[in-house]
A and B are shown apart, each in its own frame.
Chain A
Amino acid sequence: MKCKDFLKELNEYLDGGIDIQLKTELEEHLQWCHNCFVVCNTTRQTIEIYRDNEVYPLPDPIRDRLHQAIVSKCKGKHEHKS
């Protein structure tokens, strides 16, 4: 297996959706290819960092304002109907 073949399967390897035979081949490649080992590990870390850290938190005052605006429009819909 070449590095470009490994990279093609990287998503499936990281997401865990591959059959055992392919997984074994990929892991054999990882045993001797340091570059792919590093790319695999740092890509996994990339995903975890973005998953674990909120890049765009929604502050409470803005949240409250948005809730009020949405709810009042939803209530308005019923009043308009009746």
Chain B
Amino acid sequence: MDSIESKVAEAQAPVTDELTLVNAARHGDVEAFEQLIKRYDRNVFRIAQHITQNREDAEDVVQDAFIKAYQNLGQFQGNSKFYTWLVRIAVNEALMKLRRRKTSKTVSIDEDVETEEGSMPREVADWGPNPEQLYGQSELGDILQKTIQGLPQSFRTVFVLRDIEGMSTEETAEMLDLSVPAVKSRLLRARLQLRERLNRYFKKSKRDGALPQ
């Protein structure tokens, strides 16, 4: 597994440089558009894979999102970042894939559970300073993948956009057609549920703490 810091940094590349590429692509410069693909394809793939949980679907989303973006560059308003605009397209494509799969094959996906469950920690156990060092890279990758896959889709998507891709609460709300309080609530539950699920791998000892009052 590679660190994704560099890729997040890529996603935050200077806007002017990006606008130059976008404008060139808008005028038919496919090579300029290829630069944008190289800059953001990993992000789009990651988001798509997290949402669809299916490799082939995620690859399709990468293709479809970039092609759609290219075809609709004329509609891109320079007042938002190209990356935000692209991710919005990719999220829509990924959610559409999920819906299609759900209706055609009755594959069960986790529904949003609007209850208080999962918002209060059940187990409180401390972790060591570098818990990920307890495991090898590929084992850690499996743990992180399995753990995040268990979250309801709506929590997972908010966590990925906010905490992995570094989108703001407002941008995330806009992309998912949610209110800002709904994004905040889902993010809190996603974070707490992930923490709880990771406990079994990272906690220091088997001693369980008491419930918060």
Interface residues of A (CB under 8 A from B): 2-4, 7, 10-11, 14, 33-36, 38-39, 41-43, 45-47, 49-58, 62-63, 66-67, 69-71, 73-75, 77-78
Contacting pair B194 A56 (CB below 8 A): no
* B126–A70 touching, CB < 8 Å: no
Q: Is the CB of B70 within 8 A of A67?
A: no
B131 at the interface (CB under 8 A from A): yes
Residues of B close to A38: CB separation below 8 A: 124-126, 209
**In the complex, chain B residues whose CB is within 8 Å of the CB of A46:** 191, 194-195, 198
Size bracket of the B interface: 35 or more
Asked if B41 contacts A66 (CB within 8 A), the reply is yes
A61 to B126, CA, bound (A): 41
In the assembled complex, B82 has its CB within 8 A of some CB on chain A: no
B4 touches A70 (CB 8 A): no
Residue pair B59, A50 in contact (C-beta under 8 Å): no
Q: Which residues of B contact A75 (CB under 8 A)?
A: 30
> A30 to B8, alpha carbons, bound, how many Å?
31
Residues of B within 8 A of A35 (CB): 121, 124, 209-212
Asked whether B163 lies within 8 Å of A51 as measured between CB atoms, the reply is yes
**Nearest CB of B to A36, in Å:** 6
CA distance A35 to B8 in the complex (A): 32
The B interface, classified by DSSP as helix, strand, loop or mixed, is: helix
- Chain B residues lying within 8 Å of A7, measured Cβ to Cβ, are 119-121, 188, 192, 212
Q: Please name 17 pairs of A and B residues whose Cβ atoms are closer than 8 Å in the assembled complex, sorted by A.
A: A7-B121, A11-B188, A33-B212, A35-B210, A38-B124, A42-B198, A42-B202, A45-B131, A49-B144, A53-B144, A55-B46, A55-B50, A55-B144, A63-B41, A66-B63, A71-B30, A74-B67
- Across the interface, name the chain A residue whose C-beta is closest to B191: A43
Contacts of B12 in A (CB 8 A): none
A17 to chain B, nearest CB (A): 9
Provide the B146-190 mask, 1 if CB < 8 A to any CB of A, else 0: 001000000000010001100000000000000000001001100
B residues bordering A, Cβ < 8 Å? Answer: 1-5, 7-8, 28, 30, 33-34, 37-38, 41-42, 45-46, 49-50, 58-59, 62-63, 66-67, 70-71, 119-121, 124-127, 131-132, 140-141, 144-145, 148, 159, 163-164, 184, 187-188, 191-192, 194-195, 198-199, 202, 209-213
Shortest C-beta distance, B95 to chain A (Å), equals 17
In the bound complex, residues from chain B placing their C-beta under 8 Å from that of A56 are 45-46, 49-50, 58, 145
Residue in A53, A67, A69 whose CB lies within 8 Å of B141: A53
Cβ-defined contact, A47 with B191, below 8 A: yes
Given contacts A3-B212, A39-B121, A66-B41, contact A52 B70 (CB under 8 A): no
Known: A4-B120, A7-B119, A41-B127. 14 other contacts (CB 8 A): A10-B191, A11-B191, A14-B191, A39-B192, A39-B212, A50-B163, A53-B1, A53-B4, A56-B46, A56-B50, A57-B2, A71-B34, A74-B30, A77-B71
